[in-house]
Chain A
């Protein structure tokens, strides 16, 4: 559904590459490897990774961290002319926040089939609502986005005091392609409960967002 063709793909890949770099940085810092950049007129104005471990706040997602950077320097209205590039589809919370802030468009890597608010689980970006809807484009560097998440879970399992059997820790490298079924985003086209079309059942995006904070006693 959201993995339709993206016009001017090369241009957008350039920024998604920066989002991937943020996710790689998150992975190196033991944070969930989700990264994002906000781009205004070809310029990155905000970057983010999850901040939940530092804030003990389960809502401090990469998108919000990046928005904090933007609002430190710009008026909020700049978001209306800004696009978001994020390695994993925004969750329901972020999808709603982005719509309220008036984001222009969202580009993402892989679907978030646990909490996704832009097609993965719900369609917060396009459902009828009081705010302007926004278009979403998925699948940019999707494989990399998924691999980062897999690497994170292998890494986490190895750190766990009681490691799971080895087979669970193996890094799966095969990623199934998604079905490409472009559907235009419109204000009133998508009912809330439409199950995601083209969601690759075999590629389960791991839990994002409110991940467990491990407390060693």
Chain B
């Protein structure tokens, strides 16, 4: 069995600069592009507050759906042209067929200029035309058009009064983003495409942007003696290469780092060891489909196991005693206690000198809990088992270099044009259903990021990724790359 292809651009790696790109969460992928239909109306600025009051008083539920990320009032010059040119639904509602209705669409749509108000002679009422605003009334499902029309037409400026003509009531249905944007760039794009949108520097569907930025700074510009993302991933790759060289690994590697009061310590280094022989000869079969090897030998499982062992070693007496008691119960219960066999199965002791070097350091803060808030550096996106193992272990930050679209458990993309290649879509790093979430980054080359736009509502497709994947699938001659794609890391 050949080792995992590390990357299709091994040679470029030498020069290709990489940087951390935070993964989209499941919810960001699922909901980020969701839209909702709303009613809007144009009205003279001086009547804006009055009409808003009318809406609040007369339309129950107008505020139930949170659209705080959208401006309530927008000046015409800030609206996208197609919003201004939308069909006037009131007119349609009451219109009887007339010749002008056959006017081609293009003529009816006003151009996206600030002077659009004057482009329609029917609506011009002389030079004294007041400045206007567009009001986002409420989602269309809250109130139907006839009812909304009735409410508005009973109030100034849409009703005629003793001292003025009625302002023409034009209700339009437009599409707006349902949920808050997660970046300034996204807010700007949405403002251009839909309706003026705010970015409030929070993210309801993932880690807080400031935590993400803080982590990115700490990892990409490490201070003093601290290990940074580049060095940690290089170490993970070395660990993975070492076990391959020994004939027990498939390529991936994992490094676990603890950060205490701003200082980093490397706690565990583990290479994949899925092909390491078991303790008893009877357990080793080369024959069958077991070319997948032993799943406990995945680098993540091994590294987590090493952290547990180091915890035992660095623990206070109370913790050590509790663990020993639990171990004793095991034996008492007559559960199998062949230590060699068990250790060979879990493979959580160091194999290579590199692993040993870090394993033997008593540098873990005593009496901590599992892998609580530790940082995990991975050469590849881990499989579902390993991803969930990270959840169970309460890790804090995970950075991986290479996506595994067919087997990976961390990424969330399920449909094309999300924000990365289509994968299984589990997004286990940040699932509300689970009781633990952690931040997760892909360490991408600038080249990759340029090709696969990471911006939201992307227009760039994931063709490049798809193409690579298809090549990997179709190259029957090249066993390495096709088995690579289907391999669990």
> Which residues of A are at the interface with B, using a C-beta cutoff of 8 A?
25, 29-31, 46-49, 51, 53-60, 64-65, 67-69, 71-77, 80, 91-94, 96-97, 100-102, 114-115, 117, 121-122, 124, 127-130, 192, 207, 209-210, 212-213, 215-217
Q: Give CA–CA (A29, B324) in the complex, Å.
A: 12
User: Is A75 a contact partner of B283 (Cβ separation < 8 A)?
Assistant: yes
Quick one: which of B295, B371, B414, B424 contacts A100, CB cutoff 8 A? B295
**CB nearest neighbor in B for A91:** B388
**Can you list 16 residue pairs at the A/B interface with Cβ under 8 Å?**
A46-B336, A54-B326, A55-B309, A56-B309, A56-B370, A57-B370, A74-B283, A75-B282, A75-B283, A77-B290, A93-B386, A97-B385, A114-B434, A122-B426, A127-B424, A215-B367
- A96 to B284 alpha-carbon distance, docked (Å): 22
Contacting residue for A29 out of B305, B326, B393, CB 8 A:
B326
**What residues of A have a CB within 8 angstroms of the CB of B284 in the complex?**
75
| Cβ-defined partner of A96 (8 Å) among B326, B369, B384, B435 | B384
Q: How many residues of B contact A (CB 8 A)?
A: 71
B318 in the interface (beta carbon within 8 A)? yes
Task: List the B side residues contacting A97 at CB < 8 Å.
Answer: 295, 385
Q: Could you list which residues of chain B lie within 8 angstroms of chain A, going by C-beta atoms?
A: 278-280, 282-285, 287-290, 292, 294-296, 301, 304-305, 307-309, 311-312, 315, 318-319, 322-324, 326-327, 329-330, 332-333, 335-336, 338, 341-342, 345-346, 348, 367, 369-371, 383-386, 388-389, 391-394, 406-407, 409, 414, 424-426, 428, 433-436, 486, 488
CB-based contact B342/A209 at 8 Å = no
Chain A residues with Cβ under 8 A from B315's Cβ? 56
Q: Is the CB of A96 within 8 A of B385?
A: yes
| Residues of chain A lying within 8 A (CB to CB) of residue B436 | 210
On whether the beta carbons of A93 and B370 are closer than 8 Å, the reply is: no
Q: Are B323 and A72 in contact (CB under 8 A)?
A: no
Contact with A68, one of B342, B386, B428 (Cβ below 8 angstroms): B342
Whether A213 pairs with B279 at a CB distance below 8 angstroms is no
Known: A93-B388, A96-B383. A68 touches B341 (CB 8 A): yes
- CB of B435 within 8 A of CB of A121, answer no
Q: A25-B333, A67-B345, A100-B292 are in contact. Are A92 and B428 (CB under 8 A)?
A: yes
Given A29-B326, A72-B341, A93-B392, A56-B283 contact (CB < 8 Å): no
- In the assembled complex, which residues on chain B have CB atoms less than 8 Å from the CB atom of A64? 296, 346
Determine the residue in chain B with the shortest Cβ distance to A128.
Answer: B424
- Check A69 against B289 for contact (C-beta < 8 Å): no
On chain A, the residues within 8 Å of B428 by CB distance are 92
Given A64-B296, A72-B342, A100-B295, A58:B393 Cβ within 8 A? yes
Contacts of A128 in B (CB 8 A): 424
Contact call A71/B283, Cβ cutoff below 8 A:
yes
What 14 additional pairs, Cβ within 8 angstroms, besides A57-B305, A64-B346? A30-B326, A54-B324, A57-B393, A58-B394, A59-B393, A73-B341, A75-B283, A77-B290, A91-B392, A101-B295, A122-B426, A124-B384, A127-B424, A213-B322
Contacts of B296 in A (CB 8 A): 64, 67
Q: Is the CB of B335 within 8 A of A65?
A: yes
Say whether B290 contacts A92, CB under 8 Å. no
**Chain B residues within 8 Å of A96, by CB:** 383-385, 388, 409
Determine the distance from Cα of A10 to Cα of B318 in the docked complex, in whole angstroms: 45
**Interfacial chain B residues near A209, Cβ < 8 Å:** 392
Q: Which 3 A-B pairs have the closest CB atoms?
A: A57-B308, A72-B341, A93-B388
Alpha-carbon separation in the docked complex, A22 to B332 (Å): 12
Q: Is the CB of B383 within 8 A of A72?
A: no
User: B488 contacts which chain A residues (CB < 8 A)?
Assistant: 100, 130
B329 touches A31 (CB 8 A): yes
Q: Are A93 and B385 in contact (CB under 8 A)?
A: yes
* Cα-based distance from A60 to B309 in the complex (angstroms): 12
Q: Is the CB of B318 within 8 A of A216?
A: yes
Q: How far is the CA of A46 from the CA of B335 in the complex (A)?
A: 9
Interchain CA distance A129-B345 in the complex, whole Å: 25
Which among B285, B295, B341 is the interface contact of A77 at CB below 8 angstroms?
B285
Among B287, B326, B338, residue most surrounded by chain A Cβ atoms (within 10 Å): B326
- Measured between C-beta atoms, what is the minimum distance from B28 to chain A in Å? 15
Decide: A77 near B385, CB < 8 A? Known: A54-B326, A56-B315. no
Q: Complex Cα distance A57/B389, Å? A: 10
Contacts of B283 in A (CB 8 A): 71-76
Chain A nearest CB, measured from B455 CB (Å) = 25
A55 to B329, CA, bound (A): 13
B294 touching A47 by the CB < 8 A rule? Answer: no
Name the residue on B nearest A21 (C-beta). B333
- In Å, the complex CA distance between A130 and B409 comes to 13
A95 to B: closest C-beta gap in Å: 8
Contacts of B290 in A (CB 8 A): 75-77
Are A56 and B323 CB-contacts (below 8 A) given A93-B388, A100-B295?
yes
Find out whether the CB atom of A59 lies under 8 angstroms from the CB atom of B301: yes
Distance of A56 Cα from B486 Cα, bound (Å): 32
Question: With A59-B393, A93-B392, A97-B295 in contact, do A207 and B435 touch (Cβ < 8 Å)?
Answer: yes
Report the minimal beta-carbon distance from A73 to chain B, rounded to whole angstroms. 6
Q: Please give me the residue from chain A that is nearest to B341 by CB atom.
A: A72
- CA A96 to CA B383, docked complex, whole Å: 8
Check A51–B279 contact: CB distance below 8 A. no
Q: Which residue of B lies closest to A209 (CB)?
A: B392
Name the B residues within 8 Å of A56 (CB-CB).
308-309, 311-312, 315, 319, 323, 370
A76 touches B285 (CB 8 A): yes
> What separation, in Å, do the CA atoms of A121 and B26 have in the docked complex?
15
- Point out the residue from A59, A72, A80, A213 that lies within 8 Å of B280, measured CB to CB: A72
Measured CA separation A49–B336 after assembly (Å): 11
| Contact between chains at B388 and A92 (CB < 8 Å) | yes
Residue from A30, A46, A97, A213 whose CB has the most chain B CB atoms within 10 Å: A97
CB distance from A128 to the nearest CB of B (A): 8
Would you call A57 and B304 a contact (CB within 8 A)?
Answer: yes
Cα–Cα distance between A216 and B393 once the two chains are bound (Å) = 20
Closest CB-CB distance, B314 to chain A, in whole Å?
10
